Every structure is written in structure tokens, then in C-alpha cells.
Amino acid sequence: MTEVFKGSFTQQEPIPEAGIEAAVRVMRHGRLHRYNTAPGETAETVLLEQEFAAMTGARYCLAVASGGYAMATALRAIGVKHGDKVLTNAFTLAPVPGAIAAVGGVPVFVGVTGDLVLDLEDLEAKAGQARVLLLSHMRGHLCDMERLLAICDAAGITVIEDCAHTMGAAWKGKPSGTWGKVGCFSCQTYKHVNSGEGGLLITDDAETAARAIMYSGSYMLYERHAAGPPPETFETIRYETPNISGRMDNLRAAILRPQLADLHRQCERWNERYRAIEAGLADTPGVTLVPRPPEESFVGSSFQFLLNDWSGDAVQTLLARCLDRGVELKWFGSAEPVGFTSRYDSWRYVPSEPMPQSDHVLAGLVDMRVPLTFSLEDCAVIARIIRDEAGRIFQSEH
């Protein structure tokens, strides 16, 4: 009998009871706006910022409306102006070049390696073209951060990290988001903590933090940011920084705080599932798994593999056959964007040159969500289905 998987690739775990209770308390008192507090009360948003700063070791933290807003705000806060070029990944999701475009910047794409990380040789070759790198840790893959910073420091490049897929991850024990000048995180449903939408920005730089707070819509209430810089930092900044409102509210913060407290355990659970799929796909003919270097502490909330040198028709056949058996795979090699998958040449508001090496990687790149609603046995079933179908197709073509 042919195995079929019956689970959902988009069903997340429920919000923990502590988060539900905290959210109900906020709804009962009605003070959802972050600056609307009773005497002696500390806003849920402020508590979230303090807790996330402590967790990452960052000096300052700001809670905002989305990860995309965090990136655009970071770019504005470090001084990116209209027409400025910004280096970023060719392999990423649309909100990353979108954040650059939102501030009037011009993305300059840097290639991807077969390990699904930024091509540092390509970065070095393009380092003279821009003064900012918006680095996407796409799908949770961290490059050699020490080498990256050496390249950027030598070229005078400021690094902003997009950590939408690396909350809880680290390189050589140093958390993602703390290597560059600013770290930006997402709290969207399919990320590592879930408030539907939401984002967090961290930095150790007082001026950057102050500008971000003013941009987020603090009016002159910046002293209420307990995880922000001292009031004197705002003395000039408060007059010259426009309000581009994008605050997080207390309801979302209340939902997030218990999830943040449990993040370490959740990351371990994701990695158990990732390793189960990895073990099930090991040595599958025609399938190349992505190595995870020992320096990287990753969070396996998604899984990628490569079908190197497969034809586009063969890849699409695999996707169709797996879907018939309940396994939902995404492909980054399609000529047209589908769902959330798109490529650097899909974003036609951005000028781009052909990147043959990156195109070769993306042509065989298959991606799959790994929600925590999957059991370890579910992961084994999924791996068996992919292995079975990939093996059949590969044998038929070879």
C-alpha cells in the first residue's frame, strides 16, 4: 500500500495557555496601545523588549509591527537614502528587497552557494558597490559570520541582519542578530514565535536605537522605552526624525512573552524533527542534503534539499507526486513566482544581472516547512515519501 501523509504543512501549534490568559487580561482592561498604561503599570510591549534584549544579549530592543518594518526602519536609522545601493542576498524572500525599495534604496544582489548561504567571494567582489549589507539568514542558514564581518569591516560596510528564520540560532555561540549593527526578527505565524504579525529590532548602538524608536511612532514618549537608550540620546534626533508609525501593540506582546520564555525548548523540538527528516533522506539517489557546519547552532523550522542537474520537468514531477501523497514541497527554481517563493529575477522593480552560479543552485532548490505539529513519526513518513518518489524519478531519468 502506498503511504500517504495526512498532516498539514501550515498548521501551527496553539498559542500557549499563558499567552491566551495574558491576552485576555489585556483585552479586559482595554489598554492595547503600548503607551496607554495605568499608574505603576509596565506595558507588555516594554516587558517583551526587555526580555528579548536580555535573551540575545543586545543593549537595546524595539518591538514593531512586522519583520519587514523592522528591516526598513533599520535601513532608515543607519542613514540609507533614496538612490543608495544596498547589498543583499539573491536567495531570500520578497520582503528583504522590498524593505530596501521602501526606503528608496537599490538592491545589489550577492550570490548563493550550494550550502544555501551568502557567497562570500561574490560579496568581496561587490563590496565596493555599497556601504550597507542587508544580510538575510535565509531559511535559517548562517554563513561564516567572522569572515563576512572581516570583508565588511575592510570595505566599510554596515551589516543589518534579517533573522526572520534564525531566532534562537547562533554562530560559534554568538546569537544571530548580534553580529551586525542591527538585528531584525519576525513574529509572523510561520516564524519561531507567533503573534500573526510582529517584529523585533535589536542593536547596541544608542543613536540607531533612538532613531528607530522615533521612526516607529513614539512621539515624545521615548522615555517609556525601558529597553531603549537614555533620554539624552534623543536630544537632537527627536526633532529631525519623522514618525512612520509601526508600533507593536500590547496584545501581540502579551501573546509573545510566554512563547519567548519557551523558545529554547521549541528550538530543540524543531531540530529533532529536522534531524529525523535528514536521516530519512540520507543517501537518496539524486538528492543532495545541505551540510550544517559545527559552528552553526541552527533552528530546523524548515528543510531544504537540492536536486542538482535535474530538469525542470523532473522537479515539477516530484512536487506533483509528493503532493498527491500529502507532502507539500516548494521550488525556488520556477521561472515564475509561486506563493512565497520567488527569485532575484522575479523582482522586476530591481535591476539585476544574470547570476549563473546562483541560478544553478536555485534551479534544484526544494523547500519544505516543518511545523511543530508534526510528530517524529510524521517526519519519518514524509522522508520516506520523498525518498520513494525521488528515487523513482531519478532512476527513470538515469
Q: Within this chain, do residues 252 and 279 fall inside the same structural domain, yes or no?
A: no
Does one domain contain both 135 and 270?
Answer: no
Final residue of a domain: which of 228, 261, 294?
Answer: 261
Provide the number of structural domains found in the chain.
2
Q: What type of residue is 252?
A: R
Q: Is residue 181 domain-shared with residue 99, that is, in the same domain? A: yes
Q: Which residue has the cell 539517489?
A: 285
Q: Does residue 64 sit in the same domain as residue 113?
A: yes
Picking from 261, 296, 326, the residue at the C-terminal end of a domain is 261
Q: Position 229: which residue type? A: P
Q: Is beta strand 199-203 parallel, antiparallel or unpaired with respect to 60-64? A: antiparallel
Whether 219 is in a domain gets the answer yes
Measured on CA atoms in the order 103, 109, 110, 111, is the torsion positive or negative?
Answer: positive
Residues 6+ apart with CB under 8 A from 77: 182, 208, 209, 211, 212, 215
Q: Tell me: do 203 and 190 sit in the same domain.
A: yes
Q: What is the pLDDT of residues 36-90, one digit of tens each?
A: 999 999 999 999 999 999 999 999 999 999 999 999 999 999 999 999 999 999 9
Residue 44: phi and psi, rounded to 5, are -55, -35
- Both 184 and 330 in one domain: the answer is no
The pLDDT of residue 212 = 98
For the full predicted model, state whether its pTM sits above 0.85: yes
Q: The domain containing residue 194 runs over which residues?
A: 17-261
Q: Is 322 helix (H, G, I), strand (E, B) or coil?
A: helix
Are residues 149 and 32 both part of a single domain?
A: yes
Predicted confidence at residue 1, as pLDDT, reads: 57
Residue 6 lies in a domain: no
Residue 152, amino acid: C
286 and 387 both lie in a single domain: yes
The answer to whether residues 253 and 269 belong to one domain is no
Q: Among 215, 243, 261, where does a domain finish?
A: 261
**Close Cβ partners of 204 (under 8 Å, ≥ 6 residues apart):** 58, 59, 60, 178, 181
Please indicate, yes or no, if residue 172 is contained in any of the structural domains: yes
What is the residue-level pLDDT of the chain in tens, covering all 398 positions?
589 999 999 999 999 999 999 999 999 999 999 999 999 999 999 999 999 999 999 999 999 999 999 999 999 999 999 999 999 999 999 999 999 999 999 999 999 999 999 999 999 999 999 999 999 999 999 999 999 999 999 999 999 999 999 999 999 999 999 999 999 999 999 999 999 999 999 999 999 999 999 999 999 999 999 999 999 999 999 999 999 999 999 999 999 999 999 999 999 999 999 999 999 999 999 999 999 999 999 999 999 999 999 999 999 999 999 999 999 999 999 888 888 888 899 899 988 889 999 999 999 999 999 999 999 999 999 999 999 999 999 988 77
In a domain, 103, yes or no: yes
**Which CATH number characterizes residue 59's domain?**
3.40.640.10
pLDDT at 290: 98
pLDDT at residue number 145:
98
Same domain, 73 and 210: yes
Residue type, 188: Q
82 and 162 together in one domain: yes
